[in-house]
Amino acid sequence: MKYRHAHHAGNFADVHKHVTLLALLSALQRKDKGFLYLETHAGRGVYDLADSAEAGAGVARLEGAPCTAPELRHYLERLAQARRECGSSRLYPGSPWLAARALRAQDRAVFVEALPEEARALRRALSSAREARVRVETGDGFERLRAALPPPERRALTLIDPPYEETQRDFERVRAGIAETVRRFPTGVVAVWYPVKDARDTERWLAAVARQTERAALVAELWLYPRDSRVALNGSGMLIVNPPYQLDVQMRAWLAELCERLGGAAAGGSAVRPLAPARPA
Ligand SMILES: C[S@@+](CC[C@H](N)C(=O)[O-])C[C@H]1O[C@@H](n2cnc3c(N)ncnc32)[C@H](O)[C@@H]1O
C-alpha cells in the first residue's frame, strides 16, 4: 500500500469530510445518551501541512476571513484548538483527532488503521484522550466492522474513509461495508467519503448502494471542477445513511459557502439530495 494521507492532508475533500463529521457529532450529542464512534480507516490523527501538496487549495483558502455558516466556524475553531494544543501553526487535525476531542464522558471511540506505523502515530496523537473511551486497533477496518457492531450503547456513528487507491476494489468493499453495517445495526448513522472523478461512475455506484440500502440516506457533493473533467479529483462526496434530522438543510447552506470559499464558484458547485426514501419500518 503506497497511500499516505499526509500528502493530501487539508485538501478540499478533507475540509468537506471534517466539517460534515463535526456536524454529525454535534447532531448525535443533542441527546444525552452516549454512542460509539467507529472509524474504519483512521490515519495518523495529525498531519504537518509542510508534507501536504494539496492544503493550499483546501484548508488554506478557508483561513484568514470569517465564515458565516456555524458549521464552518465550528470547524475553524477546532482547527485553531488543535494548533494551540500541539503548538504548531502548520498542524492539520485528522478525523480521529477531531472526533476524540469532541467525545463526551458517555461516548467512546474505536479507530482502525491498517498500517502499523500510522496506528502507532495515532496512539501518540490521542494519548491525552482518556484510555477507556478511545481505542486504536491495527487491522482491516472493513473486517473490524463486524466485531464492533451492534454497539451495546445502541447508538453509533461509523465513518468509512478508505484511500480508494485500488479504486474499484475500495468502492466495492465500501458498498459491501455499508450493507454489513446497516444489516448489523440498522439504526446507526453511517458516513462514507468517496471521490468524484467521473460523475457517471459515481452515479452507477450510488445506484447500487441505493438498491441495497433500505434506510433513508443523503448524498452531499462538492466539486471544484466540472464533474466529467479529467483532473485527478473533481469533487468530494459524503454519503450519510440515517442522517440526523435537518442535516440536509444545514448542509445546503454550508456547502454552498464552502464551495465559494474554495474557489469553486465558476466551474464547481455543490448538491445535497436524498439517495433513497425511507421505507416504512
Ligand atoms: C483517507 S486516509 C484516512 C484519513 C482520516 N480518516 C482522516 O480524515 O483524517 C485512509 C487511511 O486508511 C488506511 N487504510 C488503507 N486500507 C485500510 C484498511 N483495509 N483498513 C484500515 N485502514 C486502511 C490508510 O493507511 C490511510 O491511513
Any ligand 1 atom below 6 A from CB of 233 = no
281 domain residue, yes or no: no
* pLDDT at site 216: 95
- The per-residue pLDDT for 246 is 94
Does residue 20 fall inside a structural domain? Answer: yes
Q: How far apart are CA 189 and CA 53, in angstroms?
A: 32
Can you tell me which atom of ligand 1 is nearest the CA of 21?
A: 8
* Whether the CB of 16 sits within 6 Å of ligand 1: no
Catalytic residue set? 161
Is the CB of residue 41 below 6 angstroms from any atom belonging to ligand 1? yes
Residue whose grid cell is 482547527: 79
Full DSSP string of 2-65:
---GGGTTTSHHHHHHHHHHHHHHHHHTTSSS--EEEESS---SEEEGGG-SSGGGTHHHHTTS
| pTM for this predicted structure | 0.95
Residue 265 CB: number of other CB atoms within 10 A?
12
Q: What is the pLDDT of residues 170-183, one digit of tens each?
A: 999 999 999 999 99
Query: Going by C-beta distance under 8 Å and a sequence separation of 6 or more, which residues neighbour residue 259?
Result: 222, 224, 265, 268, 269, 270
- pLDDT for the residue numbered 278: 47
Atom of ligand 1 nearest to the CA of 173: 19
How many angstroms separate the first and last alpha carbons of the chain?
42
How far does the centroid of ligand 1 lie from the alpha carbon of residue 114, in Å? 7
Which residue range(s) make up the domain with 68? 5-276
User: Is 123 part of any domain?
Assistant: yes
Q: Is residue 158 part of a domain?
A: yes
Tell me the CA–centroid distance for residue 44 and ligand 1, in Å.
Answer: 9
Confidence at residue 131, expressed as pLDDT on a 0 to 100 scale? 56
Residues of the chain scoring pLDDT < 70: 129-132, 227-231, 276-281
* pLDDT score, position 89: 93
- Residues 224, 232, 240, 23, CA torsion sign: negative
Atom of ligand 1 nearest to the CA of 98: 9
Task: Work out how many domains the chain is built from and give that number.
Answer: 1
Q: What share of the chain is helix, strand, coil (3-state, %, to 5)?
A: 45, 20, 35
Q: Rounded to the nearest 5°, which phi and psi values hold at 190?
A: -125, 125
- In this prediction, residue 281 carries a pLDDT of 45
98 lines ligand 1 (CB under 6 A): no
pLDDT of residue 132: 61
pLDDT of residue 241: 97
Ligand 1 centre to CA of 139 (Å) is: 10
Q: Is the CB of 115 under 6 A from ligand 1?
A: yes
Instruction: State the cell numbers at 176.
Output: 459491501
Residues 6+ apart with CB under 8 A from 106: 32, 33, 34
CATH number at residue 259: 3.40.50.150
